[in-house]
Structure 1
Amino acid sequence: MQTLVQNQQNQQVGGAPRDKRGEFLKGCPPVFSHATDPLEADDWLCAVEKQLNIAQCDDQQKVLYALGQLQGEAQDWWESFEYGCPANALPVTWQEFRENFRSYHIPEGLIELKQEEFRALKQGSMFVAEYHDKFAQLSRYAPNEVADDADKQRHFLKGLYDGLQLQLMSNTYPNFQTLVNHAIVIDNKHKEMEAKKRRLQGLASGSNTRPRTNPQ
């Protein structure tokens, strides 16, 4: 950390500070300590990198400012990593930081489990919008399986319940989002019809059980 700070100070020109930390912090980048779900670690890295790019930080600033957002176990990880680096090693680049962060906080074993969860994903009792959100989350762990739009459509269709899947398969869609939009509309209509059917059945059941009065 001290080496990174020194390098940052050496980048000042004519005594005028070039620190962009204030601009970086304006975007309210999240802090990171520990994640039981690797998605959380990946989301943190993506969110921080987005703010670093918005602030137009250079490579060393990216590492320095990202380190400032680490706490707890994540801070311990970095200190252990830094301790293992040779004393005369070059400053850690942003690419090296990303690779080592992901290697430690997003281990391959968990990635494989998430990939299997994606392949087995079914809509079940979820609304299509909920299923789509889950699909989008898990597909990040299997990018090769959704490399193009046709692959995304095929995997998405496979996880829908049979009736909806069959209805959607009778058409072709220009892109994945169009398929999702049609699935949401049709699924909502199905649920409206089912709710109406249950109400009518309830009314019919109630009328059949109404006590009769004997004629005088």
Structure 2
Amino acid sequence: MHPPTFTPTAEPLDTEHWLCIMEQKFQLLTVTEEQKVRFVAQQFLGSASAWKLTEFLDLKQGNMTVMDYVNKFNHLAQYAVTHVDTDEKKRDHFYRGLSCILQKELYAGGYQTFGALMNAAISMEGLQRDSQAEWKRKRVITRSSSHP
């Protein structure tokens, strides 16, 4: 099977034609929807895949929760196969995209796998959120008790 690669075009009918050809190819095989998505992602050429790769390489947690960052990281990782083809590469790239605060908290953890680092980041974010909530609660109690 030699499916066509996708090259971005301004003509919507070209894209629709390409999708129809891909669907015909998939009907010949038994593939899941997830497998279809992964395969189609590999067929992108030119700016489409380059854009996703750039988005992956530039990905930072920023204002996202760790779970949102994990989901976006995993989604974009399929376009950056050579950057995540080992667990070590995946773990290191994920770590570099975390917020500075989480990087500092997780630095000495020595997490051996991507999964261990991801779980630790999720837990650490939960602890930080709980700590902030506790600090705010104590501050409100302190203020209300100091005003008769």
State whether structure 2 residue 136 is matched by structure 1 residue 204. Answer: no
Alignment of 1:23-102 (within 5 A): 76-77=16-17, 102=40
Aligned pair partner of 2:129 in 181, 188, 191: 191
- What is the alpha-carbon root mean square deviation over aligned residues? 3.5
Aligned to 1:125: 63
Q: TM-score, normalising length from structure 2?
A: 0.68
Is the radius of gyration larger for structure 1 or structure 2? 1
Structure 2: stretches of 5+ with no match in the other structure: 4-12, 30-35
Cα distance change of structure 1 residues 154 and 78 upon mapping to structure 2, 3 Å threshold: closer
Q: Which has the bigger relative contact order, CA under 8 A and spacing at least 6?
A: 2
Aligned to 2:84: 146
For 1:159 and 1:166, the matched residues in 2 are separated by 12
Which consecutive aligned stretches of 4+ in structure 1 deviate over 3 angstroms post-superposition?
A: 73-76, 78-81, 92-95, 205-208
Give the percent of matched residue pairs that are identical in Structure 1 and Structure 2.
29
- Tell me the alpha carbon deviations over residues 15-53 of structure 1, each in whole angstroms, 9 at most, x when there is no partner: xxxxxxxxxxxxxxxxxxxxxxxxxxxxxxxxxxxxxxx
- Tell me the alpha carbon deviations over residues 150-185 of structure 1, each in whole angstroms, 9 at most, x when there is no partner: 101110110111121122121222321111111111
Q: TM-score, normalising length from structure 1?
A: 0.49
Aligned pair partner of 1:178 in 112, 116, 123: 116
- Displacement of 1:115 after TM fit? 1.2
Aligned to 2:33: none
- Displacement of 1:133 after TM fit? 0.8
Instruction: Give the aligned residue type for 1:108.
Output: G
Say which structure is richer in helix: 2
